[in-house]
Amino acid sequence: MGHFLNHLASKARKKLRLGHSLSELNVELMGKALHFRAPALTAELLAAIQRISPQFHLRGDESSRRFWELNQNGASWGEYVVLRPFLDRLAVPSRVLDIGPGLGRSAIFFKQLEGWGQGSFDLYEGSGKATKYTRAGPRFLDSFCGDLPALTALLEFNEIEEVEIFDAAELGGSLAGLPGPYDFIYSFFAVGFHWSIEHFLDEILGLMHDRSLGAFTLHDRFQDLSVLDPVPHRVVVADQSWPRGRSSRLLVLAKSDEILAG
């Protein structure tokens, strides 16, 4: 009986906090150039957001649409600011891989950067009806909670071209079937966050050439970096757009120390 009452209380609290205020966002990141644009939050899009990002409690109104738009754009800016010193050591990447793009905010953001729009982007994602992932945990080959139709719709809404979506289910949950090598491989809040990087490292390195760069969000529970000892890498801290004042760790890796120097 107590468990049931706690469940009802939890649902009630969630209902009370439905919606978000712009005051919750990082002011500096919120004020940067808008590269990601959000369409109206339809019931279908809200369902996709809730499944992929259950931390959001959005409504189908303009206030929630604007909050989500600025949050997604600001999150990408926070990552780019700390990655730029490494990216500036490379030529503008012509081939990019996004592992677990969700609804495409990072791919849309990078595609809008000067010079990046002409590059080809491969997005590795799978549709799923339920979330099946942990925090810095084991790898599940069927752990897909994306929404490929919604992802496609967001890319089209933002007029993004030269993007190919690879269905993870069709590749058996493996990265080995992707047409590498890539100049830049990244996974924000997917590989490294929900699944420890160690479970993907060999496949990722197999998709990189000597001057490639990789970037992956690390969950706070992931502390043992010894698996990365043979691989040149750095850990940097990126500001998050929401909740305000929070930050996240990014693992940056390469096959060459030169790319990470400085």
The total number of structural domains in the chain stands at 1
Q: Tell me what pLDDT residue 145 has.
A: 81
Percentage of the chain modeled with pLDDT above 90: 74
The CA distance from 171 to 145, in Å, is: 15
pLDDT at 132: 66
Question: Does a structural domain hold residue 5?
Answer: no
Is the model's pLDDT at 114 over the cut of 80?
A: yes
**How distant, in Å, are the alpha carbons of 96, 101, 215, 235 from that of 86?**
15, 21, 10, 12
The answer as to whether 251 is a domain residue is yes
Least confident residue range of 34-48, 196-210, 219-233, 237-251: 219-233
pLDDT at residue 262 in the model: 57
Residues above pLDDT 70, as percent of the chain: 92
In a domain, 8, yes or no: no
Strands 182-187 and 95-99: parallel
Coil/strand/helix, residue 187: strand
- 100-117: buried (b, 16+ CB within 10 Å) or exposed (e) per residue? bbbbbbbbbbbbbbeebe
Residue 166 has pLDDT above 90, yes or no: yes
Identify the band that residue 144 occupies on the pLDDT scale cut at 50, 70 and 90: confident
Question: Is residue 7 situated within a structural domain?
Answer: no
Specify if 4 maps to a domain: no
Q: Are 54 and 133 in contact (CB under 8 A)?
A: no
The winner for highest mean pLDDT among 4-13, 16-25, 35-44 is 35-44
Q: By three-state DSSP, how is residue 103 classified? A: coil
> Is residue 248 included in any domain, yes or no?
yes
Q: For residues 128 and 190, which has the higher predicted lDDT (pLDDT)?
A: 190
Residue 245 within a domain: yes
* HSE-up (13 A, CA, CB side) for residue 180: 23
Phi and psi dihedrals of 195, rounded to 5? Answer: -125, 130
Domain range enclosing 90: 21-260
Dihedral angle computed from the Cα positions of residues 19, 40, 69 and 99, in that order, rounded to the nearest 10 degrees:
110
CATH of the domain at 46: 3.40.50.150
pLDDT at 261: 83
Query: Does residue 156 form part of some domain?
Result: yes
C-alpha 238/C-alpha 115 separation (Å) is: 23
CB–CB of 249/218 below 8 Å?
A: yes
Supply the mean pLDDT for the chain: 90
Higher pLDDT, 137 or 26: 26
